[in-house]
Structure formats: structure tokens, C-alpha cells
């Protein structure tokens, strides 16, 4: 292995060690200080980055994806009797596909989102989801990585605007800084309603998601 390749491998290993130390520290703060303290630290980190002139461009730049507000969407699915029957199916049919909804994610930190996701998932697994748990979404995230899927074309859950599909991550050799280095690659796919947004908006959304996954600490504000 050439000296340049050795240095690239050393940089990659250092990045993995630093990332692990950051995450371990975050786990400790979350366990002993709670989500509010984690949010405070993230905001301080972002302010310090701004003072140092470090640009962290992770503000969502695709506002048109958030087209249908929760207040404007009619109660799912619109009629009381049908809602009663659907709720019964969701609650008692073990084979029903349930899609819980997390609202106002732009106002919550990662700890708060994780806690709410855990609560929603627990109710869904117990077949006790409430109608308000299943409505008001603009975008769905579907994960088929557990089945070995790579890229696929997820179907939009009307009346939402888009759906992001996640495949199985795998290690690949990536050419970077003049050398090949191992990288974990996560396949991401997006389908969108072209009547509401155009392809550029969808591409920016997917790029933002990729950047956020590569730099999760920047999402703490």
C-alpha cells in the first residue's frame, strides 16, 4: 500500500474513532441529562460553529414537500363509520400495515423524535394505534433493507407529497482524496407527486437527507 493510501486509511480510521466517541458522549448526556440537555448542547455547538465561520447547510431547503398541513387534512379517512371500521382493522388485524406519523419534526431534536417514534411503534405493535397517530403526514419513510433490497421505487401514500425508500447498507470501496477507502453506502430512493413538486425539489430533499445522515450532529438544533 502506498504512503498516500496509508494516510487515507489512517484518516478514515480516525474519523470512525472520533464519531464513536461523539456518539458515546451523546448517549451519556441523553441518559443523565435528558433530551432537553442534548438539545441545549446541540444549539451551543451550532452557535460555536457559526462563530468560527463553519457553514453547516442542513436547513431544509425543500419547503414545498411540506404541502399538506395537519390542520387542513380531513380526518382519516373522512367518514365516521369508515373510520370506525378502519380503526378496528388496524387494531385487530395483525397483518395490517400501520404507518405512524411524527409531526413537527423540524421543531424537535433527535432524542425527542426517537422517544416519540418508540412510543408510536409500541402502540402500533400492540395494535392500539389511534386515528391521530396515523394522519397528518407529508412524507413517508419506508425501509426494505431488512429484506436485502437496494434501490427500489416506493409508492406514494396519497395524499402525501413524497416517499423515501431505504435499502440495505453495504460496504464499498470509494475513491476519495486520491485513494480508495472503505465506506458504508446506504441506498436511498424517492418517489414524489410531480403535480406538487418538480424533480429538482425531490433531488434537493434526497441530497439533504444524505448530508444529514453523514453529519447527524448537525441536526441537533
Strands (E), 88-169: 139-143, 162-166
Per-residue model confidence (pLDDT) at position 192: 92
Per-residue model confidence (pLDDT) at position 190: 94
Q: Which residues pair with 160 in a beta bridge?
A: none
- Collapse the DSSP code of 118 into the 3-class scheme (helix H, G, I; strand E, B; otherwise coil) and give the result: helix
Q: What amino acid positions are annotated as catalytic residues?
A: 194
Res. 3: pLDDT tops 70? no
Res. 134: pLDDT tops 80? yes
Distance CA 76, CA 94 (A): 20
Distance CA 105, CA 100 (A): 13
The mean pLDDT value for 40-50 works out to 77
The mean pLDDT value for 22-33 works out to 78
Per-residue model confidence (pLDDT) at position 77: 46
Which spans in 52-171 are helix H?
80-92, 110-125
Res. 145: pLDDT tops 80? yes
Confidence of residue 13 (pLDDT cuts 50, 70, 90): confident
Lowest mean pLDDT among 50-64, 119-133, 143-157: 50-64
Distance CA 218, CA 125 (A): 31
Q: What is the pLDDT of residues 163-217, one digit of tens each?
A: 999 999 999 898 888 889 898 899 999 999 988 888 889 999 999 888 888 887 7
Per-residue model confidence (pLDDT) at position 188: 95
Q: What is the pLDDT of residues 56-103, one digit of tens each?
A: 655 544 555 655 555 655 555 455 666 666 565 555 444 456 788 998
Per-residue model confidence (pLDDT) at position 79: 59
Q: What is the pLDDT of residues 90-122, one digit of tens each?
A: 554 444 567 889 988 888 888 888 899 999 988
Q: pLDDT: is 24 or 200 the higher one?
A: 200
Distance CA 111, CA 126 (A): 23
Amino acid at each position: 500500500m502506498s504512503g498516500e493510501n496509508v494516510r487515507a486509511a489512517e484518516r478514515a480510521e480516525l474519523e470512525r474513532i472520533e464519531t464513536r466517541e461523539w456518539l458515546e458522549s451523546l448517549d451519556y448526556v441523553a441518559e443523565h441529562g435528558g433530551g432537553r440537555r442534548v438539545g441545549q448542547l446541540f444549539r451551543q455547538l451550532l452557535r460555536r460553529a457559526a462563530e468560527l465561520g463553519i457553514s453547516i447547510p442542513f436547513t431544509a431547503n425543500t419547503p414545498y414537500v411540506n404541502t399538506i398541513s395537519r390542520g387542513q387534512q380531513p380526518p382519516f379517512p373522512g367518514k365516521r363509520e369508515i373510520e370506525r371500521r378502519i380503526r378496528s382493522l388496524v387494531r385487530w388485524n395483525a397483518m395490517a400495515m400501520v404507518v405512524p406519523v411524527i409531526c413537527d419534526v423540524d421543531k424537535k431534536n433527535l432524542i425527542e423524535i426517537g422517544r416519540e417514534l418508540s412510543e408510536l411503534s409500541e402502540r402500533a405493535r400492540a395494535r392500539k394505534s389511534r386515528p391521530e397517530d396515523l394522519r397528518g403526514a407529508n412524507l413517508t419513510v419506508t425501509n426494505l433493507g431488512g429484506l436485502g433490497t437496494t434501490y427500489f421505487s416506493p409508492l406514494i401514500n396519497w395524499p402525501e407529497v413524497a416517499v423515501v425508500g431505504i435499502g440495505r447498507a453495504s460496504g464499498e470501496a470509494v475513491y476519495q482524496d486520491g485513494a480508495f477507502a472503505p465506506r458504508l453506502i446506504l441506498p436511498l430512493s424517492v418517489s414524489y407527486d410531480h403535480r406538487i413538486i418538480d424533480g429538482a425539489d425531490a433531488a434537493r430533499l434526497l441530497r439533504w437527507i444524505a448530508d444529514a445522515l453523514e453529519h447527524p450532529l448537525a441536526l441537533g438544533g
